[in-house]
Amino acid sequence: MQLYLNFKWGQKLCVPLKFLLAMKITFVILLVTLMQVSAASLAQKITLSEKNAPFEKILTEIRKQSGYNFLYNTPMLSEAKPVTIKVTDVELSEVLKMAFKGQPLAYVVKNNTIVIKPKTELPVPVVAKQAVTVKGTVVDDKNLPLPGVSVLVKGTTNGTTTDANGNFSIDVETGTETLVFRFIGFTSKEVAVNNQTTLNVQLVAEAQALSEVVVVGYGTQAKVNVTGAVSQIKNDELVTTKNENIQNAITGKIAGVRVVQGTSEPGTFNNTFDIRGLGNPLVVIDGVPRDNITRIDPNDVETISVLKDASAAVYGVRAANGVVLITTKKGKKGVTEFNYTGNVTWQVPSGLPQGQDAIAYMTLRNEAAKHNIDPRDVPFSDASFEDYRNGTKTSTDWYTPVIKSSALQQQHNLSAQGGNDATNYFVSLGYTSQDGFLRTGDLNYKRYNLRSNITSKVTKNLTLDFNINGILDQKNQPYNDAWWIIRSFWRQNPLDNIYANNNQDYLFNPSVDGTNPVALSSADVSGYKKFTNRWFQSSIGLTYNAPFIPGLKAKGLFSYDYNSAEGSAYRKAYSQYTYNH
């Protein structure tokens, strides 16, 4: 037989049919042979006997016996486990399965290469949780709806609030959550959902919060009846801040009250104190306007109330910027009770920069000279730098001889209170001490507080209040103020010495402005200043409760205050020296 093949140019090619059949048979035989070779390759026999051998060693042995190459990333094998295997004339495919069993690795055979890769875990299917919608109403103890109640899923940020009718709707994930209901003036309440879709909740008013007494311009009122803008803090909130100035202790604790501390220098009381930025408020202590709020012992204070609006109008034009009412502690009926409160703290300067050393100073001076509009020679040569590098000369640290790393502050208070049906008393003695950061210790402040408050019932309807307060404080400092001393050591040249020729008997005359901060900070060298203040404040008041009209009171108050301020300054002359080299 003959087979004719037609091409597009029209010519015919004659190919014997036997030749085509021979080609077909040859192709089939070749394909089967290749398949057998591939199967035979994985069917190679491997013999291994290893115990707790490194995985990489097992791969090396398999490669030697099979001729297969392994492709992998070396750090990947660090997670492989040791292999224990013992096989004799076992096919390669089976050996690979045994070697990779329990390993965090997988493999793929491609031609004569085995590619190793990390084993991928099949993702665990996540079953979407069916959200549960919980609806309900929140009412008060009179079954009236409460709008604006906070409804929160406990332990999450998922929440909502009730509408004008007290209704709410919130989605929870499983129906087993707990909802927390909160509203100002009411006790918070937690309610478990328990797969319910409707929850009706009743909140109970906080009786204690509503009955709390607030001091206002014309006496005291229950908090529930106060309609003006009045804020109040109590003693336990006040004393959490340990400071010699009570103004600093109320910082951030009363809404609308702004306190800006001018300095932390011991005995310097120059804070800016206002309400809503309107200027200095009127300060009333136990019913008497007074101006020494900064020296009050915080342990003697019962409450501080701030009147911010028309509630202060009772004090007239002086209350235009608001009123701060301070009520000190009174005695309580019962046996005499002694209380001691004390604290010791260390203050650490923050943000106080130190000067550069000699190397850095000379480097900066040279750079400044190079970048000058009119280029000039650098002031310091390499030889100047080398003198400080090899120790021939030493750089001067002006910070450490002047400033301490910490300063001690302490407050102590001892009080006694008690009384009976007729008379109650409160007596306290306080001591405050604050050191400055000057290393000489010549900057310090001390204060002594004495207070006695006595309340006695003269008759059934007549009550006598007799209060005495005494304050003595004293500030000691070098003749030069602290800011001038700090300015002086900041300006010093690290190339200058503190003492001439390093002899402590001769103070060096620095090259910058002629001031030596070590001398300025010492009262023994440059002199001192001393400031002493004394206050005696007293008041006596009679309160009459009208028996024929419940709640009607008449009160008369007389006060006598005395204060004195003394200051002394003594300036010493001293010499500073310069050695000629």
As a whole number of angstroms, the distance between CA 472 and CA 137 comes to 61
Please state, in angstroms and as integers, the Cα–Cα distance from residue 30 to each residue in 17, 18, 313, 546, following that order: 20, 19, 112, 126
Mean per-residue pLDDT for 561-568? Answer: 95
Can you read off the two tokens belonging to residue 47? 């013999």
> Token pair for residue 544?
């009459």
Per the CB < 8 A criterion, the answer to whether 295 and 447 are in contact is: yes
SS (H, E, C) 492-536: CCCCCCCEHHHCCCCEECCCCCCCCHHHHCCHHHHEEEEEEEEEE
The mean per-residue pLDDT over the stretch 47-69 comes to 84
Q: Smallest Cα–Cα separation from 254: which of 312, 332, 307?
A: 307
**Amino acid sitting at position 524:** D
pLDDT for 36: 43
CB 314 within 8 A of CB 397: no
Q: How confident is the model at residue 572 (pLDDT cuts 50, 70, 90)?
A: very high
pLDDT above 70 for 220: no
pLDDT value at 5 more than 90: no
Integer Cα distance of 286 and 403 in angstroms: 41
Helix (H, G, I), strand (E, B) or coil at 383: helix
Highest mean pLDDT among 17-26, 128-137, 441-450: 441-450
Three-state SS for 398? coil
The residue whose two tokens read 């020679």 is: 377
Give me the mean pLDDT over the 398-416 stretch: 93
Give me the amino acid identity at 113.
T
Distance CA 255, CA 306 (A): 9
The rounded mean pLDDT for the chain is 83
Q: Cα-atom radius of gyration of the chain, to the nearest Å?
A: 45
Per residue in 96-129, pLDDT (tens digit) is: 888 888 888 888 887 778 888 887 755 555 455 5
pLDDT value of position 42: 54
Calpha distance 529→569 (Å, rounded)? 4
User: Which pLDDT belongs to residue 125?
Assistant: 53
Q: How confident is the model at residue 24 (pLDDT cuts 50, 70, 90)?
A: low
User: Two tokens at 338?
Assistant: 């002694």
Beta-carbon contacts of residue 13 (< 8 Å; ≥ 6 apart):
4, 5, 7
**Which residue has tokens 């310090």?**
444
Quote the tokens at residue 278: 């309107």
Task: Check residue 7 and give its pLDDT.
Answer: 38
Q: What is the rounded distance in angstroms from the CA atom of residue 168 to the CA atom of residue 152?
A: 11
Task: Give the pLDDT band of residue 22 (cuts 50, 70, 90).
Answer: low
Q: What is the pLDDT of residue 21?
A: 54
d(CA 154, CA 512): 66
Mean pLDDT value of segment 21-27:
53
Q: Is residue 512 predicted with pLDDT exceeding 50?
A: yes
Phi, psi of 13 (to 5 degrees): -120, 130
At which residue do the structure tokens 């309610």 appear? 191
Q: Which two tokens stand for residue 124?
A: 């665990």
- Give the range with max mean pLDDT: 34-48, 56-70, 203-217: 56-70
pLDDT band at 130 (very low <50, low <70, confident <90, very high): low
pLDDT at 66 over 60: yes
pLDDT digits (tens, 9 = 90+) for 288-345: 998 888 899 999 999 998 888 766 777 888 888 888 999 999 998 899 999 999 999 9
Name the band, by pLDDT with cuts 50, 70 and 90, for residue 271. Answer: confident
Give the mean pLDDT of 356-378: 87
- Across the range 156-171, mean pLDDT stands at 91
- pLDDT band (50, 70, 90) for residue 170: very high
Residue 6 predicted with pLDDT over 50? no
Residue 567 has pLDDT above 90, yes or no: yes
What is residue 99's predicted lDDT score, i.e. its pLDDT?
A: 85
